[in-house]
Amino acid sequence: MLRFDILSIFPEMFRSPFDASLIGKAREKGKIEIHLHDIRDYAEGRHRMTDDYPYGGGGGMVMKVEPVARALEAVVPDRDGAIVVLLTPQGEPLRQGLVEELASWPRVVMICGHYEGVDERIRSHLADREVSIGDYILTGGELAAMVLVDAVSRLVPGVLGNSGSPVADSFSTGLLEYPQYTRPENFREWKVPDVLLSGHHKAIEDWRKRESLKRTWRRRRDLLEAISLPEEDRKILQSLILEDEQDGP
């Protein structure tokens, strides 16, 4: 079982998303646990302030280090078996390799940033990793935490059940997934490729590999630069490149 602990000033944002779909079912089956912690509970003063003006001036407010530190010390006092992740646009991109790494931990603790940013001491002394879900700015780390929980949970054995396997999904092999079809065979003259109806498993496998390479080449060439393809796949890719060159722009 994998446990998630989420530190946020808006824990109520998570309740509905985590009660539905595969995440809700995984929680019911005991495959994952999700615990929400309100950072305000660890703030001092009558107003339980979790932010303050930045030293040196500037616009916006900065999340204070003290309540975050107290929350972490209460939730994971010894940090044993846990990795602490700060959700921030300055973090490393959340790619499938990182998702797999996080899924190997028994406990993932997430700090949801807010305001203009977080006190640098949260980043440098309290977090083990900094993670970003994309090059854009959100109002806080809560939505990013939901994405991370969803991506990591799918890799926990038993979470997907009979709904599928994460092995063939896009990015799991470094490539985009091949096209998928289901019934009916013909809809408005949009037909399922004949090879998928043939029952010829080797031909289907070859078609899927070619389509996966084609889709990645045409949509996400940057992914191909990050992986080492087998010789057979490189030959297929080269033939696809030649086809595109012959067809022109």
SS3 label, residue 154: coil
CB-based contacts of 35: which residues, under 8 Å, 6+ apart?
A: 3, 4, 5, 6, 75
184 included as an active-site residue: no
Catalytic residue among 116, 130, 150, 177: 116
Amino acid, res. 42: Y
With contact defined as beta carbons under 8 Å apart, do 61 and 53 qualify? yes
169 included as an active-site residue: yes
Catalytic residue among 54, 89, 166, 179: 89
89 included as an active-site residue: yes
Catalytic residue among 100, 169, 177, 233: 169
| Cα 195 from Cα 98, distance rounded (Å) | 35
247 included as an active-site residue: no
Spell out a b/e string for 222-245, using b for 16 or more CB atoms within 10 Å of the CB, else e: ebbeeeeeeeebeebbeebeeeee
Positions annotated as catalytic residues are: 89, 116, 154, 169
